[in-house]
Chain A
């Protein structure tokens, strides 16, 4: 009976030892898993921090780019307006030039016409003076004929 009791006690201790060993192994595994999880979390936080910094920088870059784009767009609009304004002014100046060239041509045509008229008038004046000289010299006959010719020839003037 004593031996049987000793054997039973020994088996109980082995059972307890086995349970304790199993618990130790299981806890070691859990501890390892916990450490691994903490490491992964730490890595994720570090990556998150770096990525967030990069994101912030890039957002700054984007804001800066948008500011420059706004300025460039404004510049482009100004340039476009300036070009359109210059083009319009050039077109208007060209139109005025054309109108003035036409006016010059008209003035020269009028001058030519006037000069032509003046040549006729001058010819007439010479004839009138010749008639006047003839009459002034006492030659009434030829002077009267000359005056009649003058009246006829110079009628148009």
Chain B
């Protein structure tokens, strides 16, 4: 009994001991596990803390970068605006530079042309001085297009020929216009030609010789008409015996000459009236030629415009006819002078155009009178009908003609202001003429 109790107690004790040992092991393991979990948690929390700190720092950097981007965007916009402004200025400046360069080149080209023009005129002048008229003409012929191409510097109504071309008249043959003038460096009767009335070429001297009774170097105001199958030129020339201005006539088979004057005496002279100048032929509706001219005027009578019927060939006055005085200088604006007449039939009217006042001044101007017939009477329309304007000073000595288009036009001479008065050049101008009743306009 006792032994059995001891055994039971020992066995129970062993069982309890084993159970307690297992229990203790379990408890120790639980503690180890818990400790490990706590360590892991602490480690994870440390990492989280680090990550949060990193995020905070990098967020600050990111915010700063965003602010920098905003600032940089503003700078880009400002730079773009500034660049646009500068490029706009550059474009404008470039355009100005192109204009300036063009103007510079044009100025240089014009200066070069002007220099050539001057040198050509110098050479022609020297040749003329040495009696080499043909050389002077050749030189002027070469240099004339250069001189004519010079800029007009805002002159809205420029002259059309760059050298002296006084007392002009025009003859149209088909589509070609021939203009003649008072003697100049080009010769006794300079002739130039054009097909458009704006661009003219020097042809030469249409009257190389004056008749034996006349002086050379004083042939004025020629006018040429086609009459009887030839060309007839009426012109003023000084008589050698008394230096009076007289009218003579020459003929040619060509409008450019050479015209030959085989006369032994003047066609008209009127020495008692100071001489006869400025002849202008007129052919009336019946085909009868007339000559209109001016007597210089003197003690016996003032400057007067005359008319006289010509023979059929135009070489003399018609037999049994007399000259008729058409108008005299009697108006204040005329300054005692009427001259350079031209009788024009237009729109059923017979209009006598003439010039008044001093040809060597800006007071020179164009007047008009309405005539009943070529022999008169004529009644002046009033004051001058064409006077100085803009840079045109002293317009007058007009020659009228019909253009190839059928319109009425005139050539006239004028100084180019401010260079007025002999020996400055009287340049050639062209203008359209419009007549309606007694109303006359130009342009």
Which A residues are within 8 Å of any B CB, using their own CB? 16, 23, 26-27, 30-31, 33-34, 37-38, 40-41, 44-45, 47-48, 51-52, 54-55, 58-59, 61-62, 65-66, 68-69, 72-73, 75-76, 79-80, 82-83, 86-87, 89-90, 93-94, 96-97, 100-101, 103-104, 107-108, 110-111, 114-115, 117-118, 121-122, 124-126, 128-138, 140, 143-144, 146-147, 150-151, 154, 157
Contacts and interface: CB of A to CB of B under 8 A. Distances in A.
B40 to A, nearest CB: 6
Nearest to B66: A72
B186 interface: yes
Contacts of A147: 125-126, 129
B111 interface: yes
B427 to A, nearest CB: 10
Nearest to B114: A121
B82 to A, nearest CB: 5
A73 B63 CA distance: 11
Given A37-B34, A126-B424, A150 B48 contact: no
A58 B68 CA distance: 26
A79 B69 contact: yes
Contacts of A129: 121, 163-164, 424-425
Contacts of B54: 62
Contact of A132 (B37, B72, B97, B125): B125
7 contacts: A34-B27, A51-B48, A93-B87, A104-B96, A129-B425, A136-B164, A151-B122
Contact of B118 (A51, A93, A125): A125
A93 B90 CA distance: 7
Q: Which 5 A-B pairs have the closest CB atoms?
A: A138-B217, A44-B37, A86-B79, A79-B72, A136-B185
Given A72-B69, A94-B86, A45 B37 contact: yes
A101 B93 contact: yes
Given A86-B76, A103-B97, A69 B217 contact: no
B125 A93 contact: no
B394 to A, nearest CB: 15
A143 B126 CA distance: 10
A69 B65 contact: yes
Nearest to B94: A100
B372 to A, nearest CB: 38
Given A51-B41, A136-B164, A157-B115, 11 more contacts: A31-B23, A38-B34, A44-B37, A48-B44, A58-B51, A65-B55, A66-B58, A86-B80, A103-B100, A104-B100, A129-B163
Contacts of A76: 65, 68-69, 72
B288 interface: no
A12 B118 CA distance: 162
B62 A65 contact: yes
A61 B51 CA distance: 9
Contacts of B185: 132-133, 135-136
B322 interface: no
Contacts of A31: 23
Contact of B62 (A69, A83, A86): A69
B26 A132 contact: no
B118 A34 contact: no
B186 A136 contact: yes
Contact of A48 (B41, B72, B97, B117): B41
B97 A104 contact: yes
Contact of B41 (A44, A97, A124): A44
A73 B295 CA distance: 104
A121 B115 contact: yes
B76 A82 contact: yes
A68 B64 CA distance: 13
B38 A44 contact: yes
B83 A118 contact: no
B30 A100 contact: no
B89 interface: yes
Nearest to A96: B90
Interface string B99-117: 0110110011011001101
A100 B99 CA distance: 12
Interface in B156-171: 163-164
A66 B62 CA distance: 8
Contacts of A62: 51, 54-55, 58
A111 to B, nearest CB: 5
A117 B419 CA distance: 19
A114 B75 CA distance: 47
B104 A125 contact: no
Contacts of A45: 37
A40 B34 contact: yes
A150 B216 contact: no
Contact of A117 (B30, B45, B111): B111
Contacts of B80: 86
Given A58-B51, A136-B183, A48 B37 contact: yes
B246 to A, nearest CB: 16
Nearest to A58: B51
A41 B186 contact: no
A37 B217 CA distance: 148
Contacts of B68: 76
A58 B20 CA distance: 47
A13 B9 CA distance: 11
Contacts of A131: 125, 423
